[in-house]
Amino acid sequence: MEQQAKIRVGVVFGGRSAEHEVSLESARNVIAALDPARFTVVPIGISKAGRWLIGPQAMPRLQAAISGVADFGDEPMVAASLGAVYDGHALVQLAASGQQQSAPALDVIFPVLHGPFGEDGTVQGLLELAGLPYVGSGVLGSALGMDKVAMKAVFKAEGLPLVPYKVFYRVDWDKDLRDVLYWTLRAVERGDLCYPLFVKPANMGSSIGVSKARGEGDLQGCFSEAFKYDRKVVVEQGVVGQEVECAVLGNDTPAASVVGEVIPGNEFYDYNAKYVDDNSALLIPARLSETQAAEVQRLAVRAFHALDCAGMARVDFFVAKETGKVYLNEVNTIPGFTSISMYPKLWQASGLNYSQLVERLITLALERHGDKQRNLTDR
């Protein structure tokens, strides 16, 4: 029997984002999960400066960066670029002499990029132009999933349950911060919002730039922190209750995992609570009634469809303590794949281990790309 050729998987990690370090850890786990008997892994790193890098030293450099021994920089890996040329050799190595040499063809790309310039549709658009299959949502789903303002607008139009929120812009903050503070306070006085409030950059993940305002005196500092990371900021009303998450997997007919619950070790589930302090707890399954869990799963799939997501997404919710009402928070189109990340843990609890999950995502990427090839590009 003829041996089946291995699938060449380009795992893209790093990136120009404040979530760069989280991406490195996620990539290490994804690469380790790919069966070498079935897959040939091509690590493709993007430095914080935005350089694309490949080569035999990619993994040692990745490991060194994660362990803190060295920065994930530009050497000794080979510089590369991903050209918008519709063929299988879109990945190009750039020699020191300036000459270009096509790297071996890739069958599929697995982007493990978190935050702007990776999870927001930018890389997805480049991969579409290059004609490469890739794991996860397309340009539209990725862009909507990254931008909390656009995401909430879609959810609101779909009639999905949201907490009250307001949107503010850095141009107005720079012009007169007192005016932004005034309109926030007015919203509180009118009862449109009530403390505690959470102030978030519209385009960021891993709770970077997110602050909790317990009262008027916290607002200026919260806005200043959020505007460091984005030109748009969302102010959301806090919910006293549970923070729960559901993983979604699939393309046009996605499935929802069991529901998990986050118990933050800090005052809320900020970056340190997620990745630094190791004092938060993840409960699987969540402490919900069967009816509540089913509602979360139903809403997770609805949110997935509303944003036109594909492949994977982690959908986050709040469940109010007093009323038991479920509120949709946000969708993450490239959820964390670290050893402590909820997305793979939820599928593990649902009967799909880490390696099976990664392989299923690659299969979904190839299926979706194949379906797109049915679209006519000429009359």
pLDDT the model gives residue 1:
44
Q: Are 156 and 303 members of one domain?
A: yes
pLDDT the model gives residue 304:
98
Q: Are 233 and 247 members of one domain?
A: no
* pTM (predicted TM-score): 0.87
User: What residues pair up with 242 in beta bridges, in sequence order?
Assistant: 319
Q: Are 177 and 258 members of one domain?
A: no
Q: Are 152 and 286 members of one domain?
A: yes
Report residue 61 as tokens: 């450099």
The answer to whether residues 234 and 209 touch, using CB atoms and an 8 Å cutoff, is no
pLDDT the model gives residue 378:
81
Lay out the sheet containing 281-283: strands in order across. Answer: 281-283, 255-263, 241-250, 311-320, 326-332
Domain C-terminal end among 237, 265, 282: 237
Domain C-terminal end among 237, 256, 277: 237
Q: Are 202 and 213 members of one domain?
A: yes
pLDDT the model gives residue 95:
56
Question: 140 lies in a domain?
Answer: no
Whole-number Å distance between alpha carbons of 160 and 155: 5
Give exposure, 265-295, as e/b (b: 16+ Cβ within 10 Å): bbeebbbebbbeeeebeeebebebeeebbeb
pLDDT in tens, the chain (379 residues): 456 789 999 999 888 887 888 888 899 899 999 999 999 998 888 888 887 877 655 556 666 655 554 455 544 456 666 665 555 556 666 555 555 656 667 899 999 998 888 899 999 998 998 888 999 999 999 999 999 999 999 999 999 999 999 999 999 999 999 999 989 999 998 989 999 999 999 988 667 889 999 999 999 999 999 999 999 999 999 999 999 999 999 999 999 999 999 997 656 544 444 445 466 789 999 999 999 999 999 999 999 999 999 999 999 999 999 999 999 999 999 999 987 899 999 999 999 999 999 999 999 999 999 999 888 888 7
Please tell me whether residue 242 adopts helix, strand or coil conformation.
strand
Q: Please report, for the domain that includes residue 254, its CATH number.
A: 3.30.470.20
The answer to whether residues 160 and 194 touch, using CB atoms and an 8 Å cutoff, is no
pLDDT the model gives residue 379:
79
Q: Are 233 and 253 members of one domain?
A: no
Counting the structural domains of the chain, the total is 3
Question: 2 lies in a domain?
Answer: no
Q: Are 244 and 233 members of one domain?
A: no
Domain with 202 in it? 165-237
